Structure 1
Amino acid sequence: MRILLVFIVILNLLYAGWQYLSPVGVGGVILPMAEGLKVLELLDEGDVDEVKSIEESLQSVKDEKTDITADLQLDENIEQIKSEQVSCFTLGPFKDKSIMQQLRESIAEYVTDVSVRKRQESEKHRYWVYVPAMPDRKQAKLMAKKLRQKKINDFYIVLSGEAKNSISLGHFREPKHANRRMKKVADLGFKAEINVIYREYDIYWLDYQVKGKEEGGEFSVDEYISDGVSQLMRECDS
């Protein structure tokens, strides 16, 4: 009997120990909420539309920012292209070589390349009034005598060249003066003619290149442009 009692006591102690050491189930326990938490409220249809509108506005701002960034990049690319672009010009014509050389030295530091182009031109220089050449010197002297008899004394006999034995009645800058002289001699019964004398001369052009935009105030061709001198665009040499 005493042994049975001891066995029951030991059994109770083992059961109590098992209950103490075994984990407590929490599946059915509702934990209390912390104080101060905001209550979650469901949005109605109007609130949902407002949220969508805000999202669309944010997306529009984002797209606009992207467009602005793209435009800025495009502007930078355009400026880069302009800075590398080469424009070619011609300045002239110059009849005075010394003035052209001085100008070439003046613009050399502002342009990437400058060269001189020369071309020969001809212009009307004088109007020569004359009596056509006689067959020989004797006939020329006889014609000179007849002219003096008509009170025409300002002439001379050409002694050499293609116009040998002709009688020169004068050189004139203006055609109206030459025509007046020819008419006066012709009215006295002499055959007179006018020959235009041309003069050859050189003209000069400055061909130059400018890289990028001309910086304001640093280089301008306006001060070099005068009567008869102009600036023209030209194709750049490849």
Structure 2
Amino acid sequence: MKALFLVLLSINALYLGWRMWIVPTEAPPAFVEAGDIPRLQLVGEGADGNAASDDLAAASSGVEAIEPLPEGIDESLEAVAEVAAADDEEVATPEPIELASAGSVSEPPAAEAAAPACMSLGPFVNLREATEATARLNDQGLQPSQRLSESQVWFGHWVHLPSLPSRDAAIAIVEDLRAKGITDIYIEPSGPFRNSISLGVFSDAAHAETRAGQIRRMGVSPQIRDRYRDSSVYWVDFDLPPGMSLDPTDYQATPSRVLRLEPC
């Protein structure tokens, strides 16, 4: 047993000597630090990174050099940079907007004054009445002018009986009223009031009512309406200033001459 132990010990000693003096020693592989893997910071390292700088300097000796870019890449990059710079120069710089000072702000235009309105006063049945009205308007500072036209003229308050079915029926009533003492009576021969019986035209409404009451007491029912007729009349035109008013009744020669004030 002792002999076996000595034999094994001799064999181990021979193998160790062979490994140390006969087999060549291989160089250890170079250490290369991967650039994309973050380095772990040790607990003993300070915030200033001195330890990291030492490790990086130690490992830099084993890092392979970066290969240069292929030919033509540098020129292409320079051309792209020149085109971008030219585009920046062509972009127009917006001009600053000048703000108007408080003193240069234009005031809104003032509202235009209302223009005088052209008005017509009339109708006057004769030239004398129109001339008198023209003189009064001149005295008020206006500039009137006269004109002649055809128009319907108010004639008065007309007392009449409505249209009857026939002329014979109208004649029978007229004869009956005349027998009772009613005069100034006649039958309308044509127009919208054909076969109606006219009992008089009055300029005063009170007289018209008196006439109508007289006829009612005889058993008939008359009506009262305004009566007009076509005639050549005079109108007086003038410009009425804004805010100025005018009453047509102030220019009536008689109460029976009803005047109107209307636009030209």
TM-score category, normalised to shorter length = 0.3 to 0.5
Please report the TM-score for the alignment, with normalisation by the length of structure 1.
0.38
**Greater RCO (CA < 8 Å, at least 6 residues apart):** 1
Please report the TM-score for the alignment, with normalisation by the length of structure 2.
0.35
Greater helix share, 1 or 2? 1
